[in-house]
């Protein structure tokens, strides 16, 4: 077809020279009119010879497409090549010195300015009148979508569409805000909200778990205390006695006494001198841990009946403070040094004052057997027994007294336990010697 095309254009040129009468006489004079005549003649001649060499049913557009898809004699595809020796002759038509937008005869016309079937410039002339028609599309068969790119049609609208089609990024709506930064999408906002809710829910769950653990620990502690209390249930119908030890703490004796009491499930009351407490705090902590009662015996073991109200109060309060600091328990009862008292003492201790009804005189005799005899020969239900923690002989005596009292059916209780079991309410300023 390429050969036929060249031949056709040559034939058209010769035909124009000899067949002017067929198109009418060339206008004379006006240069512009001449140029129009030549242009019209070329177009009509091209339409006639465009079908030269075509078979039955073939069209110029089909032949042109086949020529593009079929390799040339050299075996290489020929997509709109220009002849090596035949170049476009610019914009000058033969026989006229006026510039035109057409291609000179004898040269292959560029495909971007011709319709597929007629070869007519699509931007310059109408197929019927030969008049310029920039916005009129010839009534010819439109090329398929795949032919647009092959024929290199030059159209701003098509080029823009192809550019947008070939660059998918141009079809995506911009997500940048006014400051050029990407804006959060609704999905991102929802994800952030859900993450924040999950964080708060986890914190709340952790808080509730901590509270529940603390509650369970408290319940376990109360249960343990109840279990111990149940094991220490005091039976008011059975006899009981309160063993009391003054002037401690003294670990060498006090720990022996507590060891023996532990073997027989017994408890005792220890009246402590405040100035001795810091040196033996561990013993106080054991007393509390094992259920014994810690009580006040003044700060410096001074005879309170010789002191004024302020000094009496200082002796009592300082002792309570130091005991509480050592073991965490503040005493609720006290014993007066030597048991000495008067109206001033009773009015200023502000605590129940516990005396005794069995005095072993262990501090005086320092004899274990005499101490044993003083207790076992006179003990009765509800008695309060006075001994002293400072003496080893007292420790020796308790090793026999404790098991023997249990043997006789006595419950070994603290002063406060016995008062409660016997129905006594201990009141500040009052003296209590026994609960018979």
Residues involved in catalysis: 246, 388
Q: Of 396, 374, 393, 369, which Cα lies nearest the Cα of 385? A: 374
Helices (H), 279-391: 281-289, 309-327, 343-348, 362-365, 368-376
Q: Are 122 and 113 spatial neighbours (Cβ–Cβ below 8 Å)?
A: yes
Cα angle 274, 277, 278; round to 5: 120
Q: Are 123 and 101 spatial neighbours (Cβ–Cβ below 8 Å)?
A: yes
Q: Of 266, 272, 273, 271, which Cα lies nearest the Cα of 290? A: 266
CA atoms within 13 A on the CB side of 205: 6
Q: CA–CA separation, 410 vs 125, rounded Å? A: 136
Tokens at 283, concatenated: 């013993």
Complete DSSP assignment for 43-109: HHHHHHHTTTT--TT--HHHHHHHHHHS--TTSS--SSPPPSS----TTB-TT--SB-SS--TTSPP
DSSP designation for 151: T
């Amino acid at each position: 077809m390429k050969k036929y095309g060249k031949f056709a254009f040559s034939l058209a040129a010769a035909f124009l020279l000899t067949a002017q009468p067929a198109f009418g006489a060339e206008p004379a004079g006006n240069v512009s009119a001449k140029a129009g005549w030549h242009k019209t003649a070329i177009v009509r001649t091209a339409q006639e010879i465009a079908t030269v060499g075509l078979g039955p049913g073939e069209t110029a557009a089909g032949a042109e497409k086949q020529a593009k898809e079929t390799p040339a004699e050299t075996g290489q595809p020929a997509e709109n090549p220009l002849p090596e020796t035949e170049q476009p002759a610019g914009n000058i038509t033969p026989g006229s010195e006026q510039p035109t937008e057409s291609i000179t005869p004898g040269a292959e016309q560029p495909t971007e300015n011709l319709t597929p079937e007629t070869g007519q410039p699509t931007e310059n002339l109408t197929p019927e009148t030969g008049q310029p028609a920039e916005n009129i599309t010839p009534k010819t068969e439109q090329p398929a979508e795949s032919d647009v790119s092959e024929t290199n049609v030059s159209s701003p609208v098509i080029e823009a569409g192809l550019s947008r089609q070939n660059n998918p990024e141009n079809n995506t709506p911009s997500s940048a805000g006014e400051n050029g930064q990407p804006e959060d999408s609704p999905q991102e906002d929802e994800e952030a909200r859900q993450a924040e809710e999950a964080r708060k829910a986890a914190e709340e769950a952790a808080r509730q778990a901590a509270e529940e653990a603390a509650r369970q620990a408290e319940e376990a502690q109360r249960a343990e205390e109840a279990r111990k209390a149940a094991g220490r249930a005091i039976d008011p119908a059975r006899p009981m006695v309160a063993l009391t030890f003054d002037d401690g703490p003294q670990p060498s004796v006090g720990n022996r006494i507590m060891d023996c009491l532990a073997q027989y499930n017994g408890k005792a009351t220890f009246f402590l001198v405040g100035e001795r407490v810091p040196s033996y705090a561990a013993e106080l902590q054991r007393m509390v841990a094992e259920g014994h009662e810690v009580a006040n015996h003044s700060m410096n073991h001074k005879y309170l009946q010789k002191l004024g109200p302020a000094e009496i109060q200082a002796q009592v309060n300082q002792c309570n403070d130091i005991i509480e600091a050592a073991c965490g328990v503040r005493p609720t009862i006290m014993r007066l040094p030597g048991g000495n008292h008067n109206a001033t003492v009773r009015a200023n201790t502000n605590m129940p004052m516990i005396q005794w009804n069995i005095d072993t005189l262990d501090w005086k005799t320092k004899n274990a057997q005499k101490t044993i005899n003083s207790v076992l020969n006179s003990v009765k239900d509800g008695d309060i027994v006075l001994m002293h923690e400072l003496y080893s002989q007292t420790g020796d005596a308790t090793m026999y007294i404790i098991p023997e009292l249990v043997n006789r059916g006595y419950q070994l209780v603290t002063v406060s336990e016995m008062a409660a079991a016997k129905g006594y309410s201990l009141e500040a300023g009052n003296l209590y010697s026994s609960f018979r």
